[in-house]
Amino acid sequence: MVSETDWSKPQRQSRVVILIAILKMFKNMWPVIVLLLARFIFNKGTTTDKNLSHLLWGLSGAIILYFFIRLNDIARFFFYRFCITDQQLVIYSGAIVKKKTELPLSKIQAIHTQQTFLHRITNTCRLVIDTAGSEKAEMEIEALDIEVAKQFQQVLTTREIVYNEQQVNKTDDYIQPEQLMQLTAKDILKLCISENHLKTFLIIIGFLVGKMQDISEYLGFDSFGWMQQHSQAVNTTTQTVVFVFILGLLFSIILSCIKVVLRFYGFTIQLGQKHFVMKWGLLETRQKQIPFKKIQLLSWRSTFVRRLMRMYILRLHATAEDENKEDQMIQLPVTNLSQLKKITGYYQQVLPSQHFPFLTIQKQYIARGILLVGLPITLAFITGLYFAIGWYTLLTLLWLFYFIISTYLYRKNYKVWLSNEAIQIEKGVWGRENILVNFRNLQQVSIKTSPYKRKHQLADIELSTTGININIPFLRKEEAAFIIDFTLANIEFRREISQSVLREDYKVEK
């Protein structure tokens, strides 16, 4: 049992951070060392003593330089301290230049923990604190004893809630999160089956080609030539090609299953006082915490197979989250519709799709798509490929056919629902993606038209949140105007209409 820590006094990280820094150094350096040594061994016949001497000096120089860069991580342990005052998290850092960072508790957006294998055996974890004002993590504690980290997390969560609610006397009221959802072995199996194995297969091929290029570059060994030479030696028949393809696909299936298990093993969602707590991972355990009010919008998607299985990947888009960084995204596998409704209910009590009729995009969307994207690309490919494969180039028309079908389906599946609090969009060709945004989270709305759209009385609308912009194309002009007016009325007169209901026949008269 760890004694209560006095957070008003500056605290240090765990000593394990020194070990982590050293291991990180070796982890990052070993591929360079192996490649340089391999190059030396492979080119032994042509390498002179002078070359060897240059190589060794270069290698030693690189290692020493890297060691000094990494020394900063070790120095960080001795000079990095943090404490919690009444309303702020204070961080002291820097060996030569002293730095003091004061972070208001109200700005803390989420507190996450991560555990690599090394953290686990040393009973420590990495703590990451995100704030609304910055895209990157504001504060990272590389290693903290697990019990101390839990205390720290509890204190921060309680104080942050208290600060926001202005209930100064309730600092000790930390409520243990209750379990909301847990993935069973059957759920993980379903996730494995429904994973996009073809995508994994293509990634593996891309990875192998990349590595072969690296080998050719670093070792001076012609790996592509070697492969061509050996493939000629084997009697290539249709059966062998099919066999190799199936073998590759099987390997991809196994690999994507391993990926799913490593990622989603032990996945749980817990419900805190005013936040979700998510835990997952087999080798590297992660825990993320996100307050409800920091969720900007929700989206959930399912591939064709997952749609049949009624499985979804739900994403919670948080304030100032970087849309391009997958490790910052909060994605939860949800294995049935009732679970989905339960979780989304904390953001938006009733889904607009449950009670209201939908609007859809107009058929001109298909014609414009074919004219501006499908046809030019097809014509370019037909012309380009004609010189290489002759009249077989007409097979490109199959792609145009697929494009037309998918554009038609996309338009058919596109639905927009409005309730008196939120807007929901569903779209997709074979799979489906849903976006749900509460009006309170919108920052700006805009309406866009082009000469073609004006001629056909159409318009696009764009709804901007703090993170992403949601574009709804090819709406009828009156419908677009209605959505804009309705959205603005909801944002601007929320107090006045907070207890009102939307008339069900809101759809604009045709």
| Interacting residues with another protein (CB under 8 A) | 132, 319, 420, 442-451, 454, 464-467, 469, 481-482, 484-486, 488-489, 491-493, 497, 499-503, 506, 508
Q: Which is nearer to another protein, 219 or 491 (CB)?
A: 491
Q: How far is the CB of 481 from another protein (least distance, A)?
A: 6
Residue 198 CB contacts under 8 Å (≥ 6 apart), including other chains: 252
Q: How far is the CB of 323 from another protein (least distance, A)?
A: 9
151: left (phi over 0), alpha (psi -120 to 50) or beta: alpha
Q: How far is the CB of 399 from another protein (least distance, A)?
A: 29
Q: How far is the CB of 446 from another protein (least distance, A)?
A: 4
Q: Which is nearer to another protein, 400 or 497 (CB)?
A: 497
Q: What letter does residue 175 receive in the DSSP assignment?
A: P
Q: Which is nearer to another protein, 213 or 469 (CB)?
A: 469
The alpha carbon of 54 is separated from its chain's Cα centroid by a whole number of angstroms, namely 43
Q: How far is the CB of 490 from another protein (least distance, A)?
A: 9
Q: Which is nearer to another protein, 431 or 467 (CB)?
A: 467
Q: How far is the CB of 364 from another protein (least distance, A)?
A: 16
CA distance 267 to 279: 5
Q: How far is the CB of 448 from another protein (least distance, A)?
A: 5
Q: How far is the CB of 458 from another protein (least distance, A)?
A: 12
Q: Which is nearer to another protein, 160 or 479 (CB)?
A: 479
Q: Which is nearer to another protein, 211 or 454 (CB)?
A: 454
Strands 285-291 and 108-115: antiparallel
The torsion of the CA quartet 88, 91, 92, 95, rounded to 10 degrees, works out to -160
CA distance 363 to 460: 14
Q: How far is the CB of 350 from another protein (least distance, A)?
A: 16
Q: Which is nearer to another protein, 215 or 442 (CB)?
A: 442
Q: Which is nearer to another protein, 114 or 319 (CB)?
A: 319
Q: Which is nearer to another protein, 222 or 322 (CB)?
A: 322
CA distance 302 to 462: 24
Q: Which is nearer to another protein, 20 or 442 (CB)?
A: 442
For residue 209, which amino acid is it? V
CA distance 441 to 436: 11
Q: Which is nearer to another protein, 135 or 147 (CB)?
A: 135
What contacts 24+ positions apart, CB below 8 Å, involve 219-228?
219/35, 219/38, 219/39, 219/42, 219/43, 220/39, 220/42, 220/43, 221/42
Helix (H, G, I), strand (E, B) or coil at 459: strand
Phi, psi of 177 (to 5 degrees): -60, 145
Q: Which is nearer to another protein, 71 or 488 (CB)?
A: 488
Query: In the chain, how long is the greatest CA-to-CA distance?
Result: 87
Token pair 């190589």 in the structure block, residue:
55
- The secondary element (H helix, E strand) that includes residue 84 is strand 81-84
Helix (H, G, I), strand (E, B) or coil at 361: coil
Q: How far is the CB of 418 from another protein (least distance, A)?
A: 11
Q: Are 267 and 280 contacting, i.e. CB atoms less than 8 angstroms apart?
A: yes
- The secondary element (H helix, E strand) that includes residue 353 is helix 352-355
Helix (H, G, I), strand (E, B) or coil at 64: helix
Token pair 């049949």 in the structure block, residue:
308
Residue 291 pairs in a beta bridge with: 275
Q: How far is the CB of 420 from another protein (least distance, A)?
A: 7
Q: How far is the CB of 257 from another protein (least distance, A)?
A: 37
Q: Which is nearer to another protein, 89 or 463 (CB)?
A: 463
Residue 276 CB contacts under 8 Å (≥ 6 apart), including other chains: 180, 269, 270, 289, 290, 292, 316, 343, 346
For residue 418, which amino acid is it? L
Q: Are 251 and 259 contacting, i.e. CB atoms less than 8 angstroms apart?
A: no
Query: Mind giving me the DSSP string for 128-173?
Result: EEEETT-SS-SEEEEEEEHHHHHHHHHHHHHHHHHHHHT-GGGTT-
Q: Which two tokens stand for residue 500?
A: 């009102």
Q: How far is the CB of 462 from another protein (least distance, A)?
A: 8
CA distance 395 to 305: 28
